[in-house]
Chain A
Amino acid sequence: MNNERPSYLREIFETKEIELNMGPQHPATHGVYRAILTLDGERIVGLNSVIGYLHRGIEKWAEYRTYKQATPIFDRLDYLSAVINCHGYVGAVEKLLGVEIPKKAEYIRVICDELQRLASHLIWLGTHALDIGAMSVLFYAIREREAVVDLLEAQLGQRLLNNAYPIGGVRFDFPKGWVEVCRKFLKVFKGKIDDYEELLTGNRIWRQRTIGVGYISREDAIAWGLSGPTLRASNVFFDVRKSIPYSAYPDFDFEIPLGQNGDVYDRYLCRIKEMRQSVRIIEQALDGMPEGELKAKVSPIIRPPVGEAYFTVEGSKGQLGFYIISDGKEKPYRVHIKSPSFINLQGLDVMSRHQLIADMVALIGSIDIVLGEVDR
């Protein structure tokens, strides 16, 4: 059977690929990200990412400051999880110095990190659901995030960009009554996660929009260097907290949720389960809080030994790494940032192949990018 159209029809109904611009001022790209999509009908056949609108030259800037002065700029990378960014940089300097951090400081860091992870995941949950069309989740997620941010403000002094840790430990012990409030919050919050799941996990519209969308295989996910929940949804066990243990994480009993199918729905489930694990970690850390010093002894002017160090933490988006070269002087010779959002965004090309244009928004939401971190 000949399926070809007659020549006179072919001339009229000739199909060709078209280019469609999305962003940089698109509400669903979560920042100034521009995607140039090549479309064949409704299917995406090519994706050209244009980034760099938010490039501030953080790596260059850090070379002109002393180790201590450079700390606050790294909060501006992923501005939704500033505490974890700070942990990454400070940890890299400590690794280079060879300082041992007091146990109590490590526990406080773990608690603040995990609270920040909750806050970041809640923002993701709200905006991701909003992109797909479930508006009410945003209000609930923002409500709980507000409580987390208040807790962080009480402990660290700032709500969002809180310059959380000095090199060598933490600044403050918990204020009076903080631990009780935190416990109370965690108790309530567990119920709230159930609420989100009730709204979304079994929701027919949600499942139809997300299951089977944006599939990436296990092999591809590793080869494209994805990390964080985006990688773990493809059934790869790689979480820096377990794989390259740092801080006090080996002390706690928690699981790394893995997905099976590597689609948008599994990435959603992974993050939801991760929130439950974060609650578990915080509860254990509050229970087992050791006594002791808050800060190791570090000289006022930091001059690490000549050499290099690469320290990674599990950020809310994935493996966040800091590569610092020291020339033995008081300023870092070179700071390189491995940003998880940047690498995950690269994998979007694979995930979006032959997907429907209407699913693009769900896809961008599912890899959870923050453009401040992509562009640095």
Chain B
Amino acid sequence: MADEQNAKKGWEATGEPIITDAVQKAIEKFGSKVIPYPNPAKEATIKVEKEDLYEVLNFLKKETGFDYLSDIASAHFPQNEKHLSLAYHLFSIEKKDSLRVKVEFNEEDLIPTVSSIWPAANWMEREAYDLMGVKFENHPNLKRILLPDDWEGHPLRKEYPLGGPQEEEIRSNRYGVPSLLPDDLESAKKIIEEGKNE
């Protein structure tokens, strides 16, 4: 019973939450909207709701000096209650301070773009949209960036097979069985038998 519950719940990060000055300031300003998040590698991490994301990031840029957006990374957790997550890695060039801001949400949710705070976010968000299917609100140019425009699906989602949608077809061709079998059963069986004899 406990195992089943755990499997449903997924897994949670180990380690202790790290409280830096910037995290302290954010907590003072936003109260319980900002939650320190545990991290095994001793990196300061906070978690916010998607409604507060823009406000918190804007505050961190203006008031605590995180002028440099190092990275935006997306991840997919189909086992969790909220399926997608984004991690914003901020850095302050003056103070040499790092902070990660995490946000969790579902596939259909719209995430406010931060390309108006840091222009660098433009391509990072396009990448997250392209490979993970995160939808951003008010983004100046939300199009695919690494994959062709007519690509279907988002490859970094967990349900997407490693070899792409055509993976099964390629595998079946490799073992000599034609992938497109005729509709009637008799001729299909015949083709498979011939393939085996070869």
The residue from B74, B123, B156 contacting A342, defined by CB atoms under 8 A apart: B123
CA distance in complex: A52, B143 (Å): 13
Is B5 engaged at the interface, CB distance under 8 Å to the other chain?
no
How many Å lie between the Cα of A336 and that of B38 in the bound state?
A: 20
B119 within 8 A of A: yes
Count of interface residues, chain B, beta-carbon cutoff 8 Å? 43
C-alpha spacing A325/B80, complex, angstroms: 15
Shortest Cβ gap from B141 to chain A (Å): 10
Q: Are A225's CB and B118's CB within 8 A? A: yes
> What is the 8 Å Cβ interface bit string for chain A, positions 49-68, against chain B (1 contact, 0 not)?
00110010101110010000
Contacts of B19 in A (CB 8 A): none
Most buried by A among B40, B89, B100: B40
The reply on B12 being an interface residue by CB < 8 A is: yes
A316 close to B (CB within 8 Å) = no
Residues 28-43 of chain B, each 1 if its beta carbon lies under 8 Å from chain A, else 0: 0000000000111101
Q: How far is the CA of A269 from the CA of B100 in the complex (A)?
A: 34
- Cα of A244 to Cα of B68 in the assembled complex, Å: 13
- Residue B73, interface by CB 8 Å: yes
Report yes or no: A325 in contact with B75, Cβ–Cβ below 8 A. Answer: yes
Minimum CB distance partner of B68 in chain A: A222
CB neighbours (8 Å) of B106 from chain A are: none
Contacting A60 at CB < 8 Å: which of B96, B119, B156? B156
- Residues in chain A near residue B119, CB distance under 8 A: 223-225
B2 lies within 8 A of chain A by Cβ: no
Do A222 and B145 have beta carbons less than 8 Å apart? Answer: no
Also in contact, A225 and B40, with CB within 8 A (given A55-B146, A310-B100): no
Chain B residues contacting A312 (CB-CB under 8 Å) are: 70
Of B11, B41, B87, B146, the residue contacting A375 (CB under 8 A) is B146
Residue of B nearest to A243 (CB): B96
Q: Are B146 and A237 in contact (CB under 8 A)?
A: no
B98 within 8 A of A: yes
CB distance from B137 to the nearest CB of A (A): 20
Provide the bound-state CA to CA distance between A64 and B156, in Å.
12
Among A95, A336, A343, max chain B CB count under 10 A is at: A336
Given contacts A60-B155, A98-B41, A305-B40, contact A321 B13 (CB under 8 A): no
> Given the complex, which residues of A lie within 8 Å of B155, measured CB to CB?
57, 60
Closest to B117 in A: A223
A305→B156 CA distance, assembly (Å): 22
Residue in A223, A243, A309, A342 whose beta carbon sits within 8 Å of that of B40 in the complex: A309
Say yes or no: is B147 at the interface (Cβ < 8 Å to chain A). Answer: yes
A306 x B12 contact (CB < 8 A): yes
Min CB gap A52→B, angstroms? 4
Q: How large is the interface on A (under 10, 10 to 19, 20 to 34, 35 or more residues)?
A: 35 or more
Q: Which of A51, A61, A305 has the most CB of B within 10 A?
A: A305
Contacts of A375 in B (CB 8 A): 146
Q: In the complex, which residues of chain A have a beta carbon less than 8 angstroms from the beta carbon of B100?
A: 308, 310
Q: A59-B156, A323-B89, A346-B122 are in contact. Are A307 and B13 (CB under 8 A)?
A: yes
Interface residue ranges of A109-145 to B (CB < 8 Å): none
Contact A306 B70 (CB under 8 A): no
**Are B123 and A336 in contact, CB atoms less than 8 angstroms apart?**
no
* Given the contacts A307-B38, A309-B40, A336 and B11 also touching, CB distance less than 8 Å: no
When distances are taken between beta carbons in the complex, the residues of chain B under 8 Å from A224 are 119-120
Q: How far is the CB of B148 from chain A (nearest CB, A)?
A: 7
Q: How far is the CA of A334 from the CA of B119 in the complex (A)?
A: 25
B124 contact set on A, CB distance < 8 A: 343
Question: Which single member of B70, B123, B156 contacts A346 (CB below 8 Å)?
Answer: B123
8 new A-B contacts at CB < 8 Å, known A55-B147, A224-B119, A308-B39:
A52-B145, A52-B147, A244-B98, A312-B70, A319-B70, A321-B70, A328-B11, A334-B75
Closest 6 CB pairs of A and B: A225-B120, A336-B73, A309-B41, A307-B40, A338-B71, A307-B13
Q: Show 15 residue pairs from A and B whose CB-CB distance is below 8 angstroms, ordered by the A residue.
A: A51-B145, A57-B155, A60-B160, A61-B162, A224-B119, A308-B87, A310-B87, A310-B100, A323-B89, A336-B71, A336-B73, A336-B74, A338-B71, A343-B120, A346-B122
Spell out B's residues near A (CB within 8 Å): 11-15, 38-41, 43, 45, 67-71, 73-76, 87, 89, 91, 93, 96, 98, 100, 118-120, 122-124, 127, 131, 145-148, 155-156, 160, 162
